[in-house]
Structure 1
Amino acid sequence: MSLVVRHADGETVIDALPGRTLRDVLREHGLSPYTRLTERANCGGRGLCATCGVRIREGPGPDHWHDRLADRFGYPRLSCQVDVRAGMVVELDEEKVVWGRRESERVE
């Protein structure tokens, strides 16, 4: 299945197996959800540090407690808590310093 990832250099289409975590798939294809600092200092995909945030433009709704709160308040969703499913379009949050900004704070 195809996963479309939007990033600073354009768009990348990835063939991914359903059911894997989005964080792992992104990292395996050289598209890290982390900043330079948090690439090394993170919780390893356990949903604790909130540094692997991405914007899911098309795909599954939030089902993890953190993602429900993030969605409610406009923050990025944790890629370590999202399973890859068909028809996903994901945007890497290139503007974050450590954690992602709220949607309303994005600079276009």
Structure 2
Amino acid sequence: MCDTVPVTVVDGDERSTVDVERGRTLRDALRDNGFAVYGSVSKHANCGGRGLCGTCGVEVASAPTPTHWHDAAAARFGYPRLSCRITVDEPLTVRLVEKVLWGQLLPERSD
């Protein structure tokens, strides 16, 4: 078994792949590789990866089965999953979502 797993990160138009140690949380792996999982305020005031604040949301294609209540709701209703509640055990593709205040997503605009 390989010690690392490829994680492809989509950030706007940028796409890159990083090798992540198997068993790490996605939140920690993203932060360690310089990706922003928090908004401007929540990057300073968050729960530290305990699944309490709901601000480290990312979109994950083919994500592992949710085990945390927030992620179960996210999977059911189609909003971002908490990166702190996803353990990297298999290849993943992750899309970072734009946030403005306290991890909030920007509202959809109809022009």
What value does the CA root-mean-square deviation take over the aligned residues? 2.1
Between Structure 1 and Structure 2, how many residues are aligned?
A: 105
Alignment partners' CA distance in 2, 1:11 and 1:52: 19
C-alpha separation in 2, matches of 1:81 and 1:56: 12
Q: For 1:77 and 1:17, locate their aligned partners in 2 and report how far apart those are by CA, in whole Å.
A: 20
How does the TM-score come out when normalised to structure 2? 0.84
* Structure 2 unaligned blocks of 5 or more: none
- Aligned residue type for 1:28: D
Q: TM-score, normalised by structure 1?
A: 0.86
Letter in 2 for 1:5: V
Percentage of matched positions with identical amino acids = 47
CA contact (8 A) 1:52 1:78 kept: yes
Preserved contact between residue 58 and residue 87 of structure 1 (Cα < 8 Å): no
Q: Quick check: 1:4 aligned with 2:8?
A: yes
| Structure with max Cα Rg | 2
Deviation at 1:9?
Answer: 4.7
Unaligned runs of 5+ in 1: none
